[in-house]
């Protein structure tokens, strides 16, 4: 079945450092979504990538979708304490088949 692997599982950074989380799928994806979950909260949609090689930016966040549509990354430039949380990728393969990665828990040290 479809598997989405996400690394690292945990990341501690000093405030101002950059952060990257990676997702890799065992199968080709039709699209990939990214969600953020604040501590004690629920996942909130950040962005969706659909096209091969697509790059999207949201302020300090840069999202990439690989050329083969099997991997993706989220990069945060100059982290802030407001970036704390768990970042999930969610890959969509066949109809309705959405698989979440295990998430990357980001801690930002002031």
Partner 1 sequence: NAGVTQTPKFQVLKTGQSMTLQCAQDMNHNSMYWYRQDPGMGLRLIYYSASEGTTDKGEVPNGYNVSRLNKREFSLRLESAAPSQTSVYFCASSQGAGANVLTFGAGSRLTVL
Widest Cα–Cα separation across the chain: 43
Near partner 1 in 21-80, by CB under 8 A: 30-31, 33, 35, 41-45, 48, 50
Should residue 8 be labelled a site residue for partner 1 when binding is judged by CB under 8 A?
no
**Cα separation values, 32 from 17, 44, 69, Å:** 25, 14, 9
Closest to partner 1 by CB, 1 vs 110, is 1
User: How many C-beta atoms lie closer than 10 Å to residue 95's C-beta?
Assistant: 6
Among 8, 9, 15, 109, the residue binding partner 1 under the rule CB under 8 A is: 9
User: How many C-beta atoms lie closer than 10 Å to residue 21's C-beta?
Assistant: 24
Q: How far is the CB of 90 from partner 1 (least distance, A)?
A: 7
Should residue 7 be labelled a site residue for partner 1 when binding is judged by CB under 8 A?
no
């Amino acid at each position: 079945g479809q598997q989405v692997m996400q690394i690292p599982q945990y990341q501690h950074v000093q405030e101002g450092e950059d952060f990257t989380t990676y997702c890799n799928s065992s199968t080709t994806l039709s699209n990939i979504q990214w969600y953020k979950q604040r501590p004690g909260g629920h996942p909130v949609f950040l962005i969706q990538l659909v096209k091969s090689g697509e790059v999207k930016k949201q302020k300090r966040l840069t999202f990439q979708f690989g050329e083969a549509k099997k991997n993706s990354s989220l990069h945060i430039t100059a982290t802030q304490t407001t970036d704390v949380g768990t970042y999930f990728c969610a890959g969509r393969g066949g109809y309705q088949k959405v698989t979440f990665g295990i998430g990357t828990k980001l801690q930002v040290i002031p």
